[in-house]
Amino acid sequence: MGLTGSLPSGLGNLTQLQTLSLRFNALTGPIPADFAGLKALRNLYLQGNFFSGQVPDSVFALQNLVRLNLGSAVAGSVEKSEVRSGDKSLVFFGNVNRVFSLDELLRASAEVLGKGTFGTTYKATLEMGVSVAVKRLKDVTATEREFRERIEQVGKMVHQNLVPLRGYYFSRDEKLVVYDYMPMGSLSALLHANGGVGRTPLNWETRSAIALGAARGIAYLHSHGPTSSHGNIKSSNILLTKSFEARVSDFGLAYLALPTSTPNRVFGYRAPEVTDARKVSQKADVYSFGIMLLELLTGKAPTHSSLNEEGVDLPRWVQSVVQDEWNTEVFDMELLRYQSVEEEMVKLLQLALECCAQYPDKRPSMEEVASKIGEICLPSLEKEEGKNQGFKDADNGFSQQYYSVDSGVSHA
């Protein structure tokens, strides 16, 4: 322990600083709010100190931050007295044999995976070596009772194409949800990371399997009744296992958010009739899925036509390319080598455009979409089925071998 005292407020002026490591000292006092000025910061390590108060929201808003470890304050503003009191605990779902405590989670090292519509997601690596994904929710307007009821409904939804929700935490200042960690990241990152430079090409079988898996996961959500919908379907919410199986994430969170919490960047996926992020519908989900399917086929990122940012209005662009007759110019260049499945690609593109119909009653249901994708793609997928079988047992995320100590707080 070398450094003592409090952090100077002038740290926020170091606008070009990329790494700040002050771990394992004896620093006290609050974390300065002017950390917002550290625009270039990528790595922040403050664990092993004696800071007081709450972690400023400005820390979590740093756009370039990819690795974060604040020790017991890693999740934000959870006060230690609350942790000790036992009044608030992590609540777990399912029949896992081992659950970790809130204190263990707060001590975990954290890496920022992404900043999305409803909050920031971290990869938290626990001391036992297990990694989980933790989403720190923002703009939650639901009461504690409403929050718990909604999250418990989400926790009961179990399907091989959904990212399992493993637990949650609720307090006045902090709302966390804990998921299995998906090691291959998102479909969005796979398609667009680094402008597509240096990424692994996605073959036709992988893309069609992702489309089918995502469709089945969303169709399962819709099967729980006419009011059961996702509300935030986009390629960054389609996560992938080690064998590139699709898992849908972030389902059920739209109902907890402020109507203004959906940023411009997701307008490209939003159905034209949706004006409030909380007032979602199954037909709006179908539209968003159609956009994601076009993205998967064309390799182009969608955006709203009125926004001045990278991306295209995908349905309009596709229709402009194929005005009179279908041609291969519309597809991602990586797919052009698969001439034997050109008919399948065209059929899938036509289905995507049906999903993106302007009027909701003209769109198919997700059950119909999943069925049609199966009819279109299963012939080529069956050829690949045996190749990936060996990976599936390794893709169960929340590996039971690591959870065998005490049962802790659980929820059936």
Ordered structural domains, the chain, with CATH: 4-182 (3.30.200.20), 187-384 (1.10.510.10)
pTM of the predicted protein model: 0.74
Summarize the annotated binding site for ATP as residue ranges: 135
Please tell me the predicted confidence (pLDDT) of residue 352.
97
Structure tokens at 359: 């009027």
Please tell me the predicted confidence (pLDDT) of residue 230.
92
Q: Which residues of the chain are modeled with pLDDT < 50?
A: 73-87, 261-265, 304-309, 390-412
Ramachandran angles phi, psi of 343, nearest 5°? -65, -40
Bridge partners of 247?
A: 239
| Pairing label, strands 246-248, 238-240 | antiparallel
* Beta-carbon count within 10 A of 145 CB: 9
Please tell me the predicted confidence (pLDDT) of residue 117.
75
To the nearest 5 percent, what fractions of the chain are helix, strand and coil? 40, 15, 45
CA dist., res. 65 & res. 134, Å (int): 16
**N-to-C CA span, the chain:** 44
Structure tokens at 27: 């620093």
Select from 245, 243, 221, 223 the least CA-distant residue to 232: 221
Residue keyed to tokens 């109507």: 259
CA-based torsion, 241, 179, 235, 212: positive or negative: positive
Buried/exposed code over 52-81 (b: 16+ C-beta within 10 A; e: otherwise)? eeebbebbbebeebebbbbbbbbbbbbbee
Please tell me the predicted confidence (pLDDT) of residue 408.
30
Structure tokens at 321: 């390319």
Please tell me the predicted confidence (pLDDT) of residue 291.
96
Please tell me the predicted confidence (pLDDT) of residue 306.
41
Summarize the annotated binding site as residue ranges: 135
What SS3 class is residue 178?
strand
Ramachandran angles phi, psi of 46, nearest 5°? -125, 10
Give me the helices (H) in 263-338, please: 282-298, 314-321
Please tell me the predicted confidence (pLDDT) of residue 23.
80
DSSP state at residue 385: H
